[in-house]
Chain A
Amino acid sequence: MNVHRSIQVRILRVQSSFFIDMPPSTGRSASSPSRRSATPPISNCTAGGSANNNSQHYHPQRAVHQIRLSALRHNYSIISSAASKQQCSVITVVKADGYGHGAIETALHLADYCGADSFAVATVDEGVTLRKALNQMNVGTSATAVVPTPNQNQNAVVPNPNPTVVKKPGNISTLFQPPASVEVAISGAGCDTSSIGSMPTSVVPLPLPVVGPPVKIGATKKNRSPNIRILVLGPPTHLPDDFALYQQFNLELMCSGPQMARALMEWVANCDARRIQEVEKAASYQQSILLEQAMEEEDDKQMARNKRAGQASTLSNVEGVELGKELRQILLKKESMGRTSGHGSDHMSSTPTSTRGSMAGTVDANGQQQPVSQATAPAMSFKGIEDAAKASRVREMAAAKVLAQTAGEEEVEDDDDTSLEDSDHNNVVNDQAVSIAHENDAADSAVVSAVSSAAVKDASAKVSSSTMKKGVAPATARRKIKWHALVDSGMGRLGFKSVEDEDGDEEEKGIPLDKLPAPLQAHTKKNAKWKIGPHRDTVSIIKAMTDAEIFGGAPIGKLSSKNAMDVIDFFTFDTLLSLFFLFLNAYRIFRNVHPYGRSIFRIRLYK
């Protein structure tokens, strides 16, 4: 590897001599002895800003991006004092890898030295990476970045869990110490040896770099807030799927209301598939544990057998039936634990289908495992979705629910199930509403109200029977998604509608121009494009939700100054109901406002 690198360096040098049209003779004159003696290369005027004046930095790297942490702190203090003057606190934006400065390092530094407690990134991936880094670099851990030098090889502590952030010093040193054999090899390959030999680069040996002092990146002053918030600014892309990530890594997202509602509806509707995935995940995890155990137990035996058979140790070598039985026992155990603890996965006993391609093994309803030879793929799935199994699953769910209610505990997964069933129901209603709405636009509001009242009845019956009456917090903290309503660019979609796109009868209901707020009036007159919608703007949607008395898990009802963010427990049924409302209204607005809204919406959600 190192040899390879140094070959590259050599080639670079040779090339550079080709780029400069220069006969070998001038090259010789250029490389005068005085220049050779001009090394060590750092003169007084270029002594790179170091914390230690006695040591001079040498930069053997190709290109170096230096980030001045003191300036970072200075700027942060300026910003935060300006913000506090207007009663604001600072969200430090570190998207795009901290504007190219290293998101993790800068965030860590600002968190530890300046007490920065909120960060914003652009994508979920950035958020996850940052959260992981923050968790890893807890307060008290001393993290330092060392200016990489070969001499400090052992002391270098890389501040980033991602090892590519600061290159391994060893590589750099070897990069600039090409072995002589390589030089000869390249010189022999058709290059003018004399001209290369005359180059100062190849003659003057590079001096050993001067060691720079380590720079502390974070985590000594313990200024760090215990709750660091990470906000994902960018428009969410894989929303229903990514909810899991937002949840798991405690990321807050920012998007417009209708988008959020739609995503949550999809999320609830896809409950089945998601749970199958969870089962698969759990199963594959269990399987890997089992495999490990089996491997450990039969290690010697296995090795001997492998030697005899001359094959690798795969799942096919493990006794399939025993493994299956063991797996089934673990699953059953987990299921019963889940019922009592309240975080159980009662669907563990179910036998849902999987469309996943990778199968390491299959388990039928009796738990008999048939070993498949692909032990390298840890993914595991279950086969068959017979009606009988489904029925038994429903029974088990009911039993689990009763168990939970008698225990007075909140069943997260049970709520999930409830919402699943109800979401099925709601979807039916939805479809009806949509189809009717398309047949007759004028009857829109009537349909919606009818559906609403039906849903309310339905909901109140269900909700009162389970969660709300008890007054228990609907879900655990880890099940919460924090959502910021984006009204900046979403305004046109949520609160306002296009004049071009509206029907005659609806126009009459619209607020007359002269009653609009002054700036809006000016805007409307100027562009004649936007006006306030007739009756389904943001406020009326929210009102409709509050009117239906669905405070429990609804985005609005849970707000408090302490929590300071919109909080949604989308696993609870009451949330589902509120979303159903929001969804219906958002749908209508979306359909009216967006020229293609109708078709897009139908395709995405109902087909």
Chain B
Amino acid sequence: MAEASSESDFTNEQMARFKSLLKRVRQAGISVPTISTDNSSALLTTNLNHFNPAELLVQKNVTNSLGYVRTGGGIFGQRPAFPLLKSVSTLSASVRHVAIVPEGQSVGYDRAYIAPKNVRIGTLTIGFADGYPRDLGNGRGFVSIRGAVFPIAGNVCMGMLMVDLGPAEDVDGIGAKVSVGDRAVLWGPEHDGDSEGTIRLQDLAQKLKTTQSALTCSLNRARVQRQYIE
């Protein structure tokens, strides 16, 4: 279903067309054992009453016929309209390097980031080749390290990216505590009790005008290691 909403004329018409075809096929004496109309969104949209089993599934000489729903995004927790679903995916990298960049110095390709003051810059082990969108560079994207959120400094490189950990003079902040080997979460829940995480995949998708599936699908299979956790 392309547009899962009870107010969508398109959906209503689509469904009516489907029903009409189904009716005519059945009137011709042909048994249609099962049908499938819903994807994740159509299934979970509660005000959408298009699927009436009594109307769609009942036919002569067949009892207990089941319909089918085809759901992928919902199962992977990627349908933001439905808060019942839980996020499945967490993308993380580690801090490989921390340095203090003096005011006026640049970071990364095209010198896109010029330090406004003396700043701490952390380098993470992930880049656009891994599937982290390059569009999230230059402060659009954020990274969570030690529970605090830091903006991306400069362009995202192919194999790494740099984050702005805050002013170098600030020695008490979390940014000053970030050290090599720290886990940096790029999206998703960070630990057990965390349902959504500080940086939500759905926010990134919205920011990039794309979908969560597009982001998880573009993770590089050879470079990004998968871990299955409880």
Q: Which residue of B lies closest to A484 (CB)?
A: B36
B208 in contact (CB, < 8 A): no
The answer to whether B66 and A48 touch across the interface, beta carbons within 8 angstroms, is no
Residue in A21, A92, A206, A539 whose CB lies within 8 Å of B101: A21
Name the B residues within 8 Å of A97 (CB-CB).
217, 221
> Can you name 30 A-B pairs with beta carbons within 8 Å?
A20-B97, A30-B99, A35-B180, A41-B94, A41-B95, A47-B191, A48-B190, A50-B192, A66-B89, A67-B89, A71-B77, A74-B85, A78-B85, A82-B44, A83-B69, A87-B65, A89-B67, A91-B68, A145-B227, A147-B227, A167-B225, A200-B97, A201-B97, A215-B227, A215-B229, A519-B17, A539-B24, A543-B28, A546-B29, A561-B31
Main secondary structure of the interface of A (DSSP, over half): mixed
Q: Which of A199-215 contact B (CB under 8 A)?
A: 199-201, 204, 206-207, 215
Residue with the greatest number of chain B CB neighbours at <10 A, chosen from A23, A47, A71, A523:
A71
**Nearest CB on A from B79, distance (A):** 9
Residue in B63, B85, B92, B157 whose CB lies within 8 Å of A561: B63
The answer to whether B100 and A71 touch across the interface, beta carbons within 8 angstroms, is no
Interchain CA distance A539-B27 in the complex, whole Å: 9
The answer to whether A79 and B25 touch across the interface, beta carbons within 8 angstroms, is no
Q: Which residue of B lies closest to A94 (CB)?
A: B72
Q: Which residue of A lies closest to B67 (CB)?
A: A88
Interface code B28-65, partner A: CB below 8 Å = 1, 0 otherwise? 11111110101010011000000111000100011111
Name the B residues within 8 Å of A201 (CB-CB).
96-97, 180
B12 in contact (CB, < 8 A): yes
Task: List the interface of chain A (C-beta within 8 A of B).
Answer: 12-13, 16-17, 19-23, 26-27, 29-30, 35, 38-43, 45-51, 57-72, 74-76, 78-79, 82-83, 86-102, 105-106, 109-110, 118, 120, 145, 147-148, 159, 164-167, 172, 199-201, 204, 206-207, 215, 217, 233, 484, 487-488, 491, 495, 517-520, 522-523, 538-539, 542-543, 546, 556, 559-561, 563-566
The answer to whether B67 and A87 touch across the interface, beta carbons within 8 angstroms, is yes
Interface size on B, residues (CB 8 A): 112
Interchain CA distance A62-B183 in the complex, whole Å: 10
The answer to whether B91 and A88 touch across the interface, beta carbons within 8 angstroms, is no
Given contacts A61-B225, A63-B92, contact A79 B75 (CB under 8 A): yes
Name the A residues within 8 Å of B221 (CB-CB).
97, 164
**Nearest CB on A from B101, distance (A):** 6
The answer to whether A519 and B63 touch across the interface, beta carbons within 8 angstroms, is no
Known: A100-B215, A172-B225, A559-B31. 11 other contacts (CB 8 A): A20-B97, A27-B99, A41-B95, A50-B229, A68-B90, A88-B53, A99-B216, A99-B217, A147-B227, A484-B36, A560-B33
Q: Which residue of B lies closest to A45 (CB)?
A: B147
Residue in A35, A164, A520, A564 whose CB lies within 8 Å of B222: A164
Name the B residues within 8 Å of A45 (CB-CB).
146-147
Name the B residues within 8 Å of A78 (CB-CB).
44, 74, 84-85
The answer to whether A20 and B121 touch across the interface, beta carbons within 8 angstroms, is yes
Name the B residues within 8 Å of A495 (CB-CB).
21
Q: Which of B158-181 contact A (CB under 8 A)?
A: 159-160, 162, 177, 179-181
Interchain CA distance A57-B95 in the complex, whole Å: 15
Residue with the greatest number of chain B CB neighbours at <10 A, chosen from A42, A66, A76, A520:
A66
Name the B residues within 8 Å of A109 (CB-CB).
228
Residue with the greatest number of chain B CB neighbours at <10 A, chosen from A22, A65, A72, A204:
A65
The answer to whether B86 and A75 touch across the interface, beta carbons within 8 angstroms, is yes
